[in-house]
Structure 1
Amino acid sequence: MISSKKYIPKSAFFIKMLFVVLFLYTATSKFLDFQDFKVQIGKSPVLSLTADWLVWVVPLSELLVSAMLLVPRFHFLSLYASLVLMVGFTTYIILILYFTENIPCSCGGILESLGWEEHLIFNLSFVLMAVFAILISDYRLKKTRFD
């Protein structure tokens, strides 16, 4: 029989590393093409009023959460922060897709090639992974404390 004790921590670690890669990639992409990112955010019918500060807050938040994900002390906080970011990004996509007429493109790099529906599925997958990592980490922590 395969022991879950061996695979649960590895699953959470793997998910954390996926988030590190995702957030580092997207933040870097935004900073490398900062002017375009700024213009696209400014065109957004949902974000235009907050575009001036969001162009800095979003990529800096992605970098901060990436760093937190690498520090074991911030295990739970970083997973919850990842979940919050992904829920925010997913909510934005839902608002753009279903409640606006003008659909801007503000993603860079590889993610730019995804359509909005595909991007929504991609984001929802990461939301589910964050929830899963939180749940298995919490289960493991409780099990270790009471065994």
Structure 2
Amino acid sequence: MKRNFQIRNHIVSIICCLYALLFAYAATSKVLDFENFQIQLGQSPLLSSFASLILFAVPAAEIIIAILLLIEKYRLIGLFSAYTLMVLFTAYIYILLHYSAFVPCSCGGIIQKLSWSQHIIFNICFIVMAGIAVVLLPGSITLHNPETSKSWH
């Protein structure tokens, strides 16, 4: 039983570290290429009205979420936040691809090199990983937690 707990904890830790790396990398790329990020947001048919807010909010949110994921006490909040942000990013891409003639990419670094299909698959993989981590997270409310299971009866 203890071994199972350790394996689950390691999987959660790996997922949280991958997310933290992804968000730290994405935020750093946006900040280092700030002018390009600003231009691409301004060109977005959906976000141009909110570009000045998003310009600072997205990199800040990515950094905050990365930090939350690295602190065990705040991992659940970090995972839900990461999940939400990835769902929003994926929905944004989907909407632009299906309902817009122009699709600017305000991603940064290597991620910008992905095709749109690859980008959506990449995001979905991270969305699934966040879900897995929430289920496996020690102390989270799941049916696998014996104390929580008792309350379901």
TM-score by length of 1: 0.92
**Residue pairs, 1:90-105, within 5 angstroms:** 90-105=90-105
Q: Percent identity?
A: 35
1:142 maps onto 2:145 in alignment? yes
Query: 1:7: Cα distance to partner?
Result: 1.1
Moved more, 47-56 or 130-139: 130-139
Does the CA contact (< 8 Å) of 2:79 and 2:134 recur in 1? yes
Query: 1:135: Cα distance to partner?
Result: 1.0
Aligned-residue RMSD, C-alpha: 1.8
Deviations 1:47-90 (A, max 9, x none): 11100110100000000011111111112111101111111111
Partner AA of 2:67 in structure 1: A
Query: 1:145: Cα distance to partner?
Result: 6.9
Partners in 1 of 2:108 and 2:6 — Cα distance? 37
Query: 1:146: Cα distance to partner?
Result: 7.3
TM-score by length of 2: 0.88
1:25 maps onto 2:25 in alignment? yes
Unaligned 5+ segments in structure 2 are none
Moved over 4 A (4+): 144-147
Query: 1:96: Cα distance to partner?
Result: 1.0
SS of equivalent residue, structure 2 residue 145: helix
SS of equivalent residue, structure 2 residue 107: coil
